Homo-oligomer: A and B are copies of this chain.
Amino acid sequence: MNIHPVTASAVESFSQTQDPRLKHILTSLVKHLHAFAQDVQLTEAEWFRGLEFLTAVGQKCDDKRQEFILLSDVLGLSMLTVSMNNDRPKACTESTVFGPFYVHDAPHYENGDDVSNGASGKACVVQGTVKNSDGQPISNAVIDVWQADDEGFYDVQKDHLKHAQARGVLHSRADGTFNFKSIVAEAYPIPMDGPVGTLLEATKRSPWRPAHLHFMIKADGYETLITHVFKKGDPHLQSDPVFGVKDSLIADWIAGKDGMTILNFDFVLNASS
């Protein structure tokens, strides 16, 4: 397809941009955006409806809700970006989407503590080892964990709640091991009361995220790992609306000897380059 004169003019308009990276991104953006419009022969009514939709997405955002990240998530852009930027050796734990529910000042816990802090759900133990791709334990890794309760809500979604629940920070021991008590993860729908929900409904897509536990693990000399552990057998593993599932991140919560439900999961970090 020949380049449209308007596309050529729009590309040329960015020719005086001094930041070479910004110039490269905007030039590519204009070409792909125009190629999309030409590909579908976008009508003026569709153009206007699209801009109305994007406006509504922006206006749904506030200090607790980021509808544009949610839109990026359901279009696969978030997971594509994660994948492109976290290409690691096969031995290392894979990354997945960060999600909107991380908080910076989660409470600190000792190994063995209960991070649920009153969140409703079935009690369980989570345990494992943080190691490198040679199998060597990584001590003092900072392990951030967060999850929804059994009604599908994170603590930050509950206006009345004044303290953290089902989230916390702990450190791996000298031998790389860690363990904590929490609640078993359950599936939950992404927020459907905004324009992204309207999009999922119009396209008959499932809003249900398969049950998962979030982790961010940092250690000196290693790349930060942002990932989930998904629950084996969850019926939504094949239809995650944000495309976050990877087979290597699916694990089972099993019955331990004392009747306690246990999740065992080891994390393998990639050395910083």
List residues of chain A with CB under 8 Å of any chain B CB. 4-7, 9-10, 13-14, 16-19, 22-26, 28-30, 32-44, 46-47, 51, 54-59, 61, 66, 68-69, 72, 74-85, 202-205, 239, 241, 243
Given A14-B203, A51-B72, A72-B51, verify A243-B6 contact (CB < 8 Å). yes
What CA separation (Å) do A14 and B205 show in the bound complex? 7
What CA separation (Å) do A219 and B136 show in the bound complex? 79
Structural contact, B26 and A36, CB atoms closer than 8 A: no
What CA separation (Å) do A35 and B84 show in the bound complex? 12
What CA separation (Å) do A94 and B54 show in the bound complex? 29
Structural contact, A17 and B202, CB atoms closer than 8 A: yes
Known: A16-B205, A37-B77. 18 other contacts (CB 8 A): A4-B80, A7-B76, A9-B243, A13-B74, A28-B39, A28-B40, A30-B76, A32-B36, A34-B76, A34-B80, A38-B84, A44-B81, A47-B77, A47-B81, A51-B72, A54-B68, A58-B59, A58-B68
What CA separation (Å) do A37 and B29 show in the bound complex? 9
From B29, B44, B75, contact of A10 by CB (8 A): B75
Given A57-B58, A68-B54, verify A10-B76 contact (CB < 8 Å). yes
Find chain B residues with CB under 8 A from A18 CB: 204
Structural contact, B17 and A204, CB atoms closer than 8 A: yes
Structural contact, B7 and A202, CB atoms closer than 8 A: no
Given A44-B85, A47-B81, A55-B61, verify A75-B17 contact (CB < 8 Å). no
Find chain B residues with CB under 8 A from A47 CB: 72, 77-78, 81
From B9, B32, B42, B61, contact of A84 by CB (8 A): B42
Which B-chain residue is minimally distant from A205 (CB atoms)? B13
Structural contact, B6 and A24, CB atoms closer than 8 A: no
From B22, B40, B81, contact of A25 by CB (8 A): B40
Structural contact, B36 and A84, CB atoms closer than 8 A: no
What CA separation (Å) do A74 and B66 show in the bound complex? 25
Which B-chain residue is minimally distant from A84 (CB atoms)? B41
Which B-chain residue is minimally distant from A241 (CB atoms)? B13
* Min C-beta distance of A150 to chain B, whole Å: 27
Structural contact, B55 and A54, CB atoms closer than 8 A: no
Find chain B residues with CB under 8 A from A59 CB: 58-59, 61
Find chain B residues with CB under 8 A from A6 CB: 76, 79-80, 83, 243
Structural contact, A25 and B46, CB atoms closer than 8 A: yes
Find chain B residues with CB under 8 A from A14 CB: 203, 205
Q: List 11 A-B contacts (CB under 8 A).
A: A9-B243, A14-B205, A23-B203, A24-B40, A30-B75, A37-B77, A41-B84, A51-B69, A55-B58, A55-B61, A58-B68
